[in-house]
């Protein structure tokens, strides 16, 4: 008697999103906002009215967050420890002459960097880490008119000393002003932050998805553009699997112009005009769908997991917040993230009782089609064997295989880089005492994480 052996392959990806960031390939400089973007980041003084658009820095007694702006600087553990990483700031001061800032009365500005592992919980606490708080590596005060339209070298990260992970940058503006500034993050071939950075300054081996790529994430900040009406900003945001809903927030868009949410499988339009789902544009001094400065947001039920894109189109001279999910960092450049595909075969369509089968399972990091390619970390493949087979052996050259009670668990030893693949072989024997035809369904699940 012959039995049919069928296989079902199930692929599940679980990307853990901790407060960290990731990278880009060599064509995507790690600069915030990205070079050529119409948008600026702006950090307002607490004395600026809520109508300016900076809920995060506005005092809590007025309904604001009473805190600071936070940006995460992700140094993956694949970064070579001997290569210094420079954090450079463009126009970090308030400066009347260049027209870059909006100044009523100038004051100092403060930038502070914190080591990896410092707690950052923007969803519930926009005031931590605090000035000079735990984890602080350096705090620098810039006096008005001290830097202007130049890059200043703010801090040098020595990975060998302070380690890999997510560094946190805090921005604060004193006086009565909106400070516009830019951020660059990478290595250099000289001490001058104002000439062109060397090639691959954010990706030392020059190859995408190898785990040495830097990236920048936004926890709390505001945006503005002064180019033309309207301009559109795309942010990338990860939606974790298994959530009943997610909520996206924006603040003080003054009713213009539009917000569009794109799920991973939606056809994407960077102008936000077609496809996706229409978001609610916030009015002045309020969050979207709210009548005041308390978040309400747009709720999306049963969201497709993966990388979403949010397009915000807004008129000139309108400062605003596009927060997405409150507790999830957002990226202006596509961050490096993996995508694994799994294939599986036993090479036969029918098998006899007592026959030995070899299940060959191969998975490949092909990227996810939305973000930049990135390595897959913590790869674990779980194969639940059918009831009518007995485990005999597992061959896994790049990791360890264990078997217990009909479940085979393969744990890969290292990350799987972009375009890399891995194969394991599981040998089983079909129950020799079977007397009737059965279908044998073998289900494998692949879990992995991105660099966040």
**Residues forming the site for Ca ion (CB under 5 A):** 53, 91, 101, 179-181, 188, 190, 192, 195, 203, 205, 207, 210, 212, 252, 254, 318-320
Take residue 4 and report the two structure tokens written for it.
């049919």
CB of 122 to Ca ion, least distance (A): 20
CB of 138 to Ca ion, least distance (A): 19
Give the C-alpha separation, 442 to 387, whole Å: 9
Take residue 258 and report the two structure tokens written for it.
């539009």
Q: Which is nearer to Ca ion, 190 or 267 (CB)?
A: 190
Q: Which is nearer to Ca ion, 180 or 431 (CB)?
A: 180
Q: Which is nearer to Ca ion, 146 or 207 (CB)?
A: 207
Q: Which is nearer to Ca ion, 247 or 315 (CB)?
A: 315
Q: Which is nearer to Ca ion, 222 or 364 (CB)?
A: 222
CB of 124 to Ca ion, least distance (A): 24
CB of 161 to Ca ion, least distance (A): 22
Q: Which is nearer to Ca ion, 280 or 319 (CB)?
A: 319
Report yes or no: 359 and 428 within 8 Å, Cβ to Cβ: yes
Q: Which is nearer to Ca ion, 184 or 449 (CB)?
A: 184
CB of 403 to Ca ion, least distance (A): 36
Q: Would residue 275 be called left, alpha or beta, if left means φ above 0 and alpha means ψ between -120 and 50 degrees?
A: left
Give the C-alpha separation, 371 to 239, whole Å: 13
132 pairs with which residues across the strands? none
CB of 252 to Ca ion, least distance (A): 4
Contacts of 265 (CB under 8 A, 6+ apart): 304
Phi and psi at 359, nearest 5°, equal -85, 120
CB of 242 to Ca ion, least distance (A): 31
Q: Which is nearer to Ca ion, 262 or 320 (CB)?
A: 320
239 vs 143, 248, 306, CA distance in Å?
A: 40, 11, 5
Give the C-alpha separation, 422 to 200, whole Å: 28
Take residue 259 and report the two structure tokens written for it.
């917000």
- Which residue, 45, 402, 426, is CA-closest to 222? 45
- Angle, alpha carbons 119-112-63 (nearest 5°): 70
Report yes or no: 184 and 30 within 8 Å, Cβ to Cβ: yes
Contacts of 309 (CB under 8 A, 6+ apart): 234, 235, 236, 237, 261, 262, 268, 370
Take residue 151 and report the two structure tokens written for it.
């890059």
CB of 421 to Ca ion, least distance (A): 18
Q: Which is nearer to Ca ion, 5 or 215 (CB)?
A: 215
CB of 51 to Ca ion, least distance (A): 7
144 pairs with which residues across the strands? none
Helix-strand-coil split of the chain, %, nearest 5: 0, 45, 55
């Amino acid at each position: 008697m012959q039995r049919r052996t069928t296989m079902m392959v199930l692929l599940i990806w679980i990307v853990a999103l901790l407060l960290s960031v990731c990278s880009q390939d060599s064509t995507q400089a790690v600069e915030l906002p990205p070079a050529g973007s119409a948008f600026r980041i702006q950090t307002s003084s607490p004395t600026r009215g809520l109508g300016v658009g900076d809920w995060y820095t506005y005092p809590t007694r007025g309904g604001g967050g009473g805190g600071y702006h936070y940006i995460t600087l992700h140094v993956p553990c694949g970064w070579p420890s001997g290569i210094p990483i420079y954090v450079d700031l463009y126009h970090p001061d308030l400066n009347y002459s260049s027209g870059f800032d909006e100044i009523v009365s100038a004051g100092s500005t403060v930038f502070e960097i914190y080591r990896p592992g410092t707690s950052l919980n923007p969803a519930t606490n926009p005031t931590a880490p605090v000035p000079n708080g735990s984890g602080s590596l350096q705090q620098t005060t810039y006096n008005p008119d001290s830097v202007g339209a130049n890059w200043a070298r703010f801090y040098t990260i020595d990975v060998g000393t302070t380690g890999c992970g997510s560094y946190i940058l805090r921005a604060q503006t004193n006086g009565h002003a909106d400070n516009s500034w830019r951020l660059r993050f990478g290595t250099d071939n000289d001490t001058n932050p104002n000439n062109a950075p060397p090639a691959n300054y954010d990706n030392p081996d020059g190859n995408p998805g190898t785990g040495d790529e830097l990236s920048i994430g936004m926890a709390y900040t505001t945006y503005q553009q002064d180019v033309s009406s309207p301009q559109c900003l795309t942010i990338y945001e990860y939606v974790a699997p298994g959530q009943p809903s997610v909520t996206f927030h924006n603040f003080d868009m003054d009713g213009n112009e539009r917000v569009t949410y794109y799920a991973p499988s939606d056809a994407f339009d960077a102008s936000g005009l077609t496809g996706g789902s229409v978001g609610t544009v916030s009015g002045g001094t309020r969050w979207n769908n709210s009548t005041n400065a308390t978040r309400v947001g747009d709720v999306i039920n049963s969201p497709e997991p993966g990388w979403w894109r949010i397009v915000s189109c807004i008129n000139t001279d309108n400062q605003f917040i596009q927060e997405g999910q409150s507790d999830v960092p957002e990226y202006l450049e596509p961050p490096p993230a993996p995508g694994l595909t799994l294939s599986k075969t036993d090479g036969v369509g029918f098998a006899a009782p007592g026959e030995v089968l070899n299940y060959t399972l191969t998975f490949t990091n092909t990227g996810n089609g939305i973000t930049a390619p990135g390595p897959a970390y913590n790869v674990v493949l779980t194969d639940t064997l059918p009831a009518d087979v007995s485990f005999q052996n597992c061959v896994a050259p790049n990791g360890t295989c264990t078997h217990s009670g009909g479940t085979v668990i393969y744990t890969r030893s290292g990350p799987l880089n972009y375009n890399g693949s891995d194969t394991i072989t599981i040998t089983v024997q079909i129950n020799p005492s079977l007397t009737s035809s059965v279908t044998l369904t073998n289900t494998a699940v692949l879990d992995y994480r991105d660099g966040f």
